[in-house]
Amino acid sequence: MMRRSALFLGSVPVMKNLINGKLVESKATKFFDIYNPATGEVIAKTPQSTPEELHQALEGCVEAQKTWAEVSVPNRVRVMLNYQKLIRDHTDELAKLITMEQGKTLNDAAGDVFRGLEVVEHTASMGSLLMGETLENVSSHMDTYSFRYPLGVTAGICPFNFPAMCCLWMFPVAVTAGNSMLVKPSEKVPHTAMRLGELALEAGLPAGIVNMVHGGPDTVNFICDAEPIRAISFVGGNSAGDYIYQRGAANGKRVQANCGAKNHCIIMPDADKEQAINAVIGAACGACGQRCMALSVAILVGEAKEWLPEICAKAAELKPDVGTKNPPFGPIITKQARDRAIKLIDDSEKQGAKVLVDGRKCSVEGFPNGFWIGSSVVADVTTDMPCYQEELFAPVLAVITADSLDEGLDIISKNPYGNGAAIFTQSGAAARKFQHEVAAGQIGINVPIPVPLPMFSFTGSRKSFRGENHFYGKMGVNFYTDTKTIVSNWNPNNAKKSKVMTDFPIFKQ
């Protein structure tokens, strides 16, 4: 294990940067507080890395990638095989870090690590994923074939809600494809990403292939503007995602940006009632609602409207607590996030919504300063209310009623987001209609959170995604690589038949 990843500012540790295989103290003068959401205490500080530190880290990525790109694919894969073993061995440690700085329950935090681990495991397929295409005899004695090449230096900007998983969506795919990556962990939850960076070095990843630098908007702007960076991966909200996409693209970079969401589910009257209610409440409240695939809107169709009391009863059973106790869910990330969610509920209530389960005044014994918000169910919601218009990122389920599947689909299609949607039904015809017509990129049929495994890709759409190639899977490899297509002519009769051609070539033989 490397030396500790923080120095101290007074009694509070300050995170260090990871540059060229070493933990480096920042000379920053500006810092961001890192909280334990369960206690409300500042547990560390994240520095705003200086311009000199950012340039040093980027230059290290540039130089290291030149050699790394020439390492054989099987040997790059072997590093990832070492890495997945280390992640598996250190899952408990990583989960405790996530619980400390993000607030998730230990079980949920271990799931955060595991879903990232699956992406690392899938990089063992990189030999197949990087294979090009070949066609012999496109013309007489002429062949065409293609290869995939690494872009060079890439960058990752990570979110607070999945400190392990989203970080592992990014650099393992990028580096196994032959790139280097400059990673900016979330300034709210940097401990987990830093530990993942240390483990990558222990696995045999050369120094400089993954450098990690801290900061806020200044670091983001550096990444968007730095000429050597060819591609940017981002997960977060729409305000930042739209900005990064526009600024990065304006500087000629590829950008994949997973942004906000408003995921709906339709509950049909023929659904398995107990399974549907358990699934929806779990998906709405799990991780304190801080998932981009959380189900935050339930559309009850027809007689399913009568299930509302049972939905409320199930939600009311779920109480937050300190993540180390493995309660149903933990605290929200910051006081500001809690206050924002409460205001959205307040404003919707003023417009006529009914708060049937109210978590706004939630408290947890022994932790009076934690950032607590309880599970909430808001009924009689209309699509112009704040709790519907905004992504709450809190354990809140907004309930809408509809008379038919068509009406429910129309509600979803008019919402601008397209991360995911789900239907609960026993009708194959209804399920088929839903998957074909719903305006979302990831569809669950009797599945509340349909996040694809790494052999597929995370395919949010519309306002939930900016870019062309999605995260991980084949699309992720496409994002981090360029294609070279070669046309070769080894005709032994070229010398005899050769002549000047000024017309556009048409191959007839």
> Is the pLDDT assigned to residue 360 strictly greater than 80?
yes
Q: Share the mean pLDDT of the chain.
A: 96
Measure the CA–CA gap between 69 and 1, rounded to whole angstroms. 27
Report the 3 state secondary structure along 179-219.
CEEEEECCCCCHHHHHHHHHHHHHCCCCCCCEEECCCCHHH
3-state secondary structure of 436: helix
One-letter identity of residue 470 = H
Cα angle 306, 309, 312 (rounded to 5 degrees) comes to: 135
Residue carrying structure tokens 């990122």: 393
Say what the pLDDT of residue 506 is.
79
pLDDT grade, residue 504 (50/70/90)? confident
> Is the pLDDT assigned to residue 5 strictly greater than 80?
no
What confidence tens digit (pLDDT) does each residue in 43-83 have? 999 999 999 999 999 999 999 999 999 999 999 999 999 99
Measure the CA–CA gap between 352 and 345, rounded to whole angstroms. 11
> Is the pLDDT assigned to residue 294 strictly greater than 50?
yes
Under CATH, which number does the domain 263-445 receive? 3.40.309.10
Measure the CA–CA gap between 445 and 424, rounded to whole angstroms. 6
203-235 CB burial, b ≥16 within 10 A, e <16: bebbebbbbbbbbbeebbebbbebeebbbbbbb
Provide DSSP, 37-59: TTTTEEEEEEE---HHHHHHHHH
Q: What tokens does 128 get? A: 């197949």
Q: Among 297, 296, 307, 295, which Cα is nearest to 271's?
A: 307
What confidence tens digit (pLDDT) does each residue in 321-356 have? 999 999 999 999 999 999 999 999 999 999 999 999
Average pLDDT over residues 117-125: 98
Q: Among 295, 45, 341, 164, which Cα is nearest to 332's?
A: 341
Residue carrying structure tokens 């942004």: 259
Provide DSSP, 83-137: HHHHHHHTHHHHHHHHHHHH---HHHHHHHHHHHHHHHHHGGGHHHHT---EEEE
* Inter-residue contact 357 to 377 (CB < 8 Å): yes
Measure the CA–CA gap between 372 and 322, rounded to whole angstroms. 10
Say what the pLDDT of residue 412 is.
98
Say what the pLDDT of residue 499 is.
78
> Is the pLDDT assigned to residue 200 strictly greater than 70?
yes
Residues 6+ apart with CB under 8 A from 501: none
Distance in Å from the first CA to the final CA of the chain:
63
Helix H or strand E segment including 145: strand 142-150
> Is the pLDDT assigned to residue 365 strictly greater than 70?
yes
Say what the pLDDT of residue 495 is.
66
- CATH 3.40.309.10 in the chain is located at 263-445
Q: What is the DSSP letter of 288?
A: G
Distances (CA, A) of 174 to 17, 177, 208, 441: 20, 5, 13, 23
* Inter-residue contact 232 to 157 (CB < 8 Å): yes
Q: Does domain 16-259+464-485 have CATH number 3.40.605.10?
A: yes
Q: Give how far the C-alpha of residue 359 lies from the chain's centroid of Cα atoms, to the nearest Å.
A: 27
Measure the CA–CA gap between 286 and 384, rounded to whole angstroms. 26
What confidence tens digit (pLDDT) does each residue in 372-405 have? 999 999 999 999 999 999 999 999 999 999 999 9
Beta strands in 268-368 (DSSP E): 295-301, 354-357
> Is the pLDDT assigned to residue 1 strictly greater than 60?
no
Q: 74: exposed, middle or buried (C-beta count within 10 Å: 0-12, 13-18, 19+)?
A: exposed
Report the 3 state secondary structure along 447-485.
CCCCCCCCCCCECCEECCEECCCCECHHHHHHHCEEEEE
- Just list the catalytic residues: 292
Share of the chain above pLDDT 90, in %: 93
